[in-house]
Amino acid sequence: MKNKQLLALVEGAIMVALATVLSFVRIVRFPWGGSVTLLSMLPITIYSIRHGVKFGLLASFVYSLIQFLQGVMDGLFGWGLTGGMLVACILFDYIVAFTVLGLAGAFGNKSMPAMVGGTVMAVFLRYVSHVISGAAVWHSVGKIWEAFSTDNEWVYSIIYNGVYMGVELVLTVVVTVILLQIPQIRKT
């Protein structure tokens, strides 16, 4: 039993490292945050499906901290956010947004619909977290809202985050389905 847990933790560390590397490969980078990456969520969602929500949330929380550090390197503290906005941004754009990826295994790893459903749910929850941040935090930064012809911060955030998260969702689900056809990947 301890060997199985140790193996799961080692695999989790590898998957977090792989997800981190893939997150640096940005296919499209949006001007005010968000990007389409080379399947950066896939290692975390596959790991959660293979090992369950408990291990998935642990790995995804670690991944969220690494994503936060990436945000710091991208200049997070220089964006002119107030203290409250900064806390909300850290929570909803990093900690919550990336930790929910660990819920991909919530429906189990027995059937393809359960695995795909878990992946869709996890990525959708990440999207919801970014939408909340966009409406609650970023609406206060006026010049960003001028980029679209709406004054409604919720509509703006839904559209803005939906564009890149929609692409990320489709790519992640398609490759998840392909990879989970391989018995060695599906099996824990």
Q: ∠17-187-99 over CA atoms, to 5°? A: 40
Amino acid residing at 86:
L
| Alpha carbon of residue 56 to chain centroid | 12
Tell me how far apart the alpha carbons of residues 182 and 177 are, in angstroms, rounded to a whole number.
Answer: 9
71-80, 94-103, 152-161 — most confident range: 94-103
Cβ(160)–Cβ(32) under 8 Å?
yes
Q: Are 109 and 49 in contact (CB under 8 A)?
A: yes
pTM for the predicted model, two decimal places: 0.91
Between residues 103 and 146, which one has the greater pLDDT?
A: 103
Per-residue pLDDT reduced to its tens digit, 15-28: 999 999 999 999 99
How far is the C-alpha of 16 from the C-alpha of 75, rounded, in Å? 22
Angle, alpha carbons 140-143-146 (nearest 5°): 105
Query: First vs last Cα of the chain: how many Å apart?
Result: 13
Check: CB of residue 135 under 8 Å from CB of residue 153. Answer: yes
Give the C-alpha separation, 7 to 27, whole Å. 32
Give backbone dihedrals phi and psi of 75, rounded to 5 degrees, phi first: 105, 20
At 124-145, the pLDDT tens digits run: 999 999 999 988 887 765 555 4
Residue 56 has pLDDT above 60, yes or no: yes
DSSP bridge partners of 28: 36
Q: Where are the domains of the chain?
A: 2-186
- The verdict on domain 2-186 having CATH code 1.10.1760.20 is yes
* DSSP-assigned letters across all residues of 52-101: -HHHHHHHHHHHHHHHHHHHHHTTGGGS---HHHHHHHIIIIIIHHHHGG
